[in-house]
Amino acid sequence: MVDLAGFVASKLGVPPEAFRLLLTLLAGYPIAAAYHKYVADRPKTLQHLYFALSGMGLCYYNYGTDTYHSLLAISVTFALVTVLRSKPLLLLIINFVFHMSYLLLGYYYTASNEYDILWTMPHCILTLRMIGFGFDISDGLRKEEELSKDQKETALRDPPNFLELLAFAYFPSSFLVGPQFPYRRYQSFTNGEFRQYAGYKEAGLKRLGAGVLYLAVCQAGLTYLPDGYFLSPEFAAQSFIKRIYFLGFWAKFSLYKYISCWLFAEGALMYLGFTYKGRDELGNADWTGCSNVKLKLLESGNTMQHYVQSFNVNTNQWVAHYVFKRLKFLNNRNISYGAALGFLAIWHGYHSGYYMAFLMEYMIVSTEKQIESVYTKQVLPKYGETLNNSKIYSIIYFFCLKSYNIVYMGWCLTSFVFLKYERWITVFSAVNYFGFIYMLIWACIYHGYRYYRKTQPREPRPSTSTKQD
């Protein structure tokens, strides 16, 4: 049998796995169109069957018999919910340990030096979905007053049957690259709660167009700045300024690869009418309920915190809901934040590059908060009026923040893309480890200044007992 996708991919000069992934993401649009024409008005059982078979078929198209991994994982979660529903804590622990262990074993046996498009890619999405599902089942067994506002919105009082769970897990356009959503959203959709609202098809097609644009920019940019260039002597021979800016622009183009995939997936879900969020400020239906990227903030932001808030949004929300907020008992936001980032790193795999990337995120976001604190508490009270009225300062301020945004994104994404220590440390060395050095300089200045302030005698407060005329 001729592999048509592989033949076309070879002619285009792209990996066949990546081309199949793209076709699968785009398949979400005809699947959505067929749903509206033939399935939407049918009984819910037929809808569940449609989504389950569509998703499983697409999974098999990409990964063949390796589809059994996801089917096994879903079956185990269903069995655990059936058997251990009366013991929610035990259900949570076993469900969490099973899915994370299975995923990590998959990484162990399949990992290479590159970002692999194997069965482990959709399985990492499934792992979060099944772990979150376990938490929602457990929350549904607790008293209403024990739940937070977010937990009340996702708690499941009645577990779904196996077909419904299959449809939720294999939901087309979301099982490959996300986004994440709770079972309650899928339930609301199949109950027809979103069908009364208009504009979903237009919103989906706009997202599709944005995805095409980002993919085109990504391909053009990485043609001029391919990954291998940054491991070459030619890159190391460039001037320092060129090196750090080349690395920054390369990081932008590399991000667009992920963003284009998310935009295709989001657009298909919008076109399906799945992503209703409420009414916007103009009273129109808002279809961004499953958006994984905030394009306006991504392109206009100036800090690493802006990247965190605009990139991989649904995964970050999932971690906040099921990990960060559930560590509230630690009574320490920094420890909870560090634990959440640690979980994300482990979820990505064993490569040292993931751990370095999330460590850098933690360090840079913390540094930004320190700088912002000093700026707002020490600089603005003294010089704020002068600075805010200066056009030259505004231009310099914008240029410096944008340069920082571009340059440090290159530094942060290096280890995430190159994965292996031998590769990303080569790039770090080629740019003189500037990311470490500048943060170390700031840390010495910041903590040195704080120590100096503590050792200085406090000025006496002015007396308030004397009445002034």
- Please state, in angstroms and rounded to a whole number, the distance separating the CA atoms of residues 361 and 133: 28
51: which 2 tokens? 């989504």
Question: Distance between CA atoms of 87 and 67, rounded to whole angstroms?
Answer: 30
pLDDT score recorded for residue 43: 94
**Selected catalytic residue, list 312, 314, 316, 405:** 312
Is the peptide bond prior to 16 cis by the omega test (within 30 degrees of 0)? no
CA distance 305 to 328: 21
| Active-site residue, 48 included | no
pLDDT value at position 334? 81
Report the interhelical angle of 120-140 vs 183-190 (nearest 10°).
Answer: 90
Query: Residue 1 pLDDT more than 50?
Result: no
Biggest CA pair distance of the chain: 98
pLDDT of residue 24: 93
Question: Catalytic: which of 48, 306, 348, 351?
Answer: 348
Residues 6+ apart with CB under 8 A from 449: none
Q: How confident is the model at residue 462 (pLDDT cuts 50, 70, 90)?
A: low
Q: Is 123 a catalytic residue?
A: no
CA–CA gap between residue 204 and residue 227 (Å, rounded) = 32
Six token digits for residue 206: 């706009």
Query: How many residues does the structure list for the chain?
Result: 469
In terms of pLDDT, which residue wins out, 307 or 5?
Answer: 307
User: Tokens 């990311």 map to which residue?
Assistant: 435
Burial of 419 (0-12, 13-18, 19+ CB in 10 A): buried
Own/partner long-range contacts of 103-109 (Cβ < 8 Å, ≥24 apart): 103/127, 103/347, 104/346, 104/349, 104/350, 106/69, 107/349, 107/350, 108/350
pLDDT over threshold 90, residue 66: yes
Q: Is the pLDDT of residue 3 over 80?
A: no
Percent of the chain with pLDDT over 90: 55
At CA 356, angle to CA 353 and CA 359, rounded to 5? 150
Query: Measured between alpha carbons, how far is 331 from 334 in angstroms, rounded to an integer?
Result: 9
Per the DSSP assignment, residues forming a β-bridge with 85 are none
HEC letters along 281-348: CCCCEECCCCCCECHHHHHHCCCHHHHHHHECHHHHHHHHHHHHHHHHHHCCHHHHHHHHHHHHHHHH
Please state whether the predicted TM-score (pTM) of the whole model is above 0.85. yes
Crossing angle for the helix pair 44-63 and 162-169, nearest 10 degrees? 50
Measured between alpha carbons, how far is 218 from 264 in angstroms, rounded to an integer?
14
pLDDT in tens, 239-290: 999 999 999 999 999 999 999 999 999 999 999 999 999 888 888 889 999 9
pLDDT, tens digit (0-9, with 9 covering 90-100), for 204-243: 999 999 999 999 999 999 999 999 999 999 999 999 999 9
pLDDT at 463 (0 to 100)? 55
At 307, phi and psi to the nearest 5?
A: -60, -45
Amino acid 113: pLDDT:
66
Predicted confidence band of residue 459 (pLDDT cuts 50, 70, 90): low
**Confidence tier at 18 by pLDDT (50, 70, 90):** confident
